[in-house]
């Protein structure tokens, strides 16, 4: 009898306790709250303030006394109807396209070189890239100014030493295309380290078995890159391209220090143009409108690029 009761008790399903209500962990959110608030203030507030200023009549009197009145889209209409603005837009697009293409090509070549170098040689090259990347923008820009000085510049001295007498005391910064080329060289030189190191870090994650199988099929270096490296790292290439487009399009310090948009308007891009309008004409509302149009152009270009990438991913 006792045995039967014991078995009945053992077979009886035990009542499970009610599930405990999980407490929301607030402590992590409290820890990151100061950072989130600071980033919101530093990033969102200037953007919102710029948008508001672009729809106001905001010149020097309003800056001093206040009382800016809203004018709607009048500032945008005035900027978009100015032929000089569209000339600057075309120049900015050309400037950005040339720089980004050179940056991506050179960065890809450097990353492929790093993959094939030995340990110590790779460490030496990567140290040089990091030093270039860590060089302050003003310092690097000043060095390029010294290199291309008309009388004491190293570039003129080297060219004359090689027999090019036409470059004796040549004034690089008085010629529009020459200044444009110097700025392209400067920005490419500053941008390649980040893109090259990022691409190298992505390339070392590609399985080596894929390359071994391609070599067994007789594929060369170009075929390996076109069939394995680029398709596998397509998203990484797209991300770095987008970052470089943003970086180049918003370059201001290099252009302003070297040429201030000159000679003439040969190196005036949208950031420089917005600053010139705001400071020279003291029309901060028009400068804000130009900067917001630049942001809109960047967003549209990046959205079009992302859409194209998404379509390619669907096809593949």
Domain ranges of the chain: 82-285
Residue range 71-99: mean pLDDT, rounded? 92
Contact 144, 187 (CB under 8 A): no
* Tokens representing residue 223 in the block: 């075929």
Separation of alpha carbons 230 and 216, rounded Å: 19
- Cis peptide upstream of residue 263 (ω within 30 degrees of 0): yes
Single pTM value for the model: 0.83
Taking residues 110-133, report their average pLDDT: 91
Whether the per-residue pLDDT at 109 is higher than 90: the answer is yes
Residue 272 pLDDT more than 90?
yes
pLDDT of residue 220: 80
**Residue 313, C-beta contacts closer than 8 angstroms, at least 6 positions apart:** 234
**Which residues have CB under 8 Å from 94's CB, separation 6+?**
none
Q: What is the pLDDT of residue 9?
A: 47
Residue 221 or residue 203, greater confidence: 203
User: How sure is the predictor about 38, in pLDDT bands with cuts at 50, 70 and 90?
Assistant: confident
Q: Report CA 131 to chain centroid distance, whole Å.
A: 19
Provide mean pLDDT across the span 224-246.
Answer: 88
Query: Cα(120)–Cα(133) distance, rounded to whole angstroms?
Result: 20
pLDDT at 269: 92
Question: CATH number of 82-285: 1.25.40.10, 1.10.10.60, 1.10.3720.10, 1.10.579.10?
Answer: 1.10.3720.10
* pLDDT for residue 150: 83
What's the CA gap between 304 and 103, in Å, rounded?
Answer: 20
Cα–Cα dist 15/173, whole Å: 86
The rounded distance, in Å, linking the Cα atoms of 178 and 148 is 10
Distance, in Å, from the CA atom of 127 to the CA atom of 129, rounded to the nearest integer, reads 5
CB neighbours of residue 152 within 10 Å = 9
- pLDDT of 6 > 60? The answer is no
Output the pLDDT for position 88: 93
Mean pLDDT for the stretch of residues 146-156: 88
Q: Which residues of 167-176 are buried (b: 16+ CB within 10 A; e: fewer)?
A: beebebbeee
- For residue 184, the surrounding DSSP H or E stretch is helix 176-203
In Å, how far from its chain's centre is CA 39? 19
Backbone angles phi, psi at 59, to 5 degrees: -115, -160
Three-state secondary structure call for residue 139: helix
Binned at pLDDT 50, 70 and 90, residue 114 comes out as very high
Has residue 105 got a pLDDT over 50? yes
């Amino acid at each position: 009898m006792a045995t039967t009761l014991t078995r009945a008790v053992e077979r009886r399903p035990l009542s499970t306790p009610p599930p405990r209500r999980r407490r929301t962990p607030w402590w992590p959110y409290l820890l990151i709250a100061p950072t989130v608030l600071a980033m919101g203030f530093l990033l969102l507030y200037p953007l919102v303030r710029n948008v508001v200023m672009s729809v106001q009549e905001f010149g020097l009197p309003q800056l001093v006394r206040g009382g800016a009145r809203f004018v709607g889209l009048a500032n945008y209409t005035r900027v978009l109807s100015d032929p000089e603005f569209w000339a600057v837009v075309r120049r900015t697009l050309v400037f950005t396209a040339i720089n980004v293409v050179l940056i991506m090509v050179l960065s890809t070549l450097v990353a492929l070189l790093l993959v094939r170098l030995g340990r110590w040689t790779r460490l030496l090259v990567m140290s040089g890239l990091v030093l270039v990347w860590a060089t302050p923008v003003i310092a690097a820009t000043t060095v390029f100014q010294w290199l291309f000085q008309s009388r004491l510049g190293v570039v003129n001295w080297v060219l004359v030493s090689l027999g090019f007498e036409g470059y004796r005391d040549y004034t690089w910064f008085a010629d529009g295309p020459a200044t444009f080329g110097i700025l392209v060289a400067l920005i490419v030189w500053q941008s390649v380290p980040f893109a090259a190191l990022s691409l190298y870090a992505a390339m070392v994650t590609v399985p080596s078995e894929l390359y071994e199988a391609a070599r067994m099929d007789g594929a060369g270096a170009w075929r390996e890159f076109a069939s394995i490296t680029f398709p596998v790292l397509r998203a990484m290439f797209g991300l770095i391209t987008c970052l470089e487009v943003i970086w180049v399009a918003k370059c201001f310090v290099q252009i302003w220090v070297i040429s201030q948009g000159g000679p003439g308007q040969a190196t005036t891009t949208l950031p420089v143009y917005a600053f010139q309008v705001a400071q020279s004409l003291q029309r901060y509302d028009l400068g804000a409108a130009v900067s917001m149009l630049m942001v809109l152009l960047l967003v549209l270009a990046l959205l079009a690029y992302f859409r194209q990438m998404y379509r390619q991913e669907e096809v593949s």
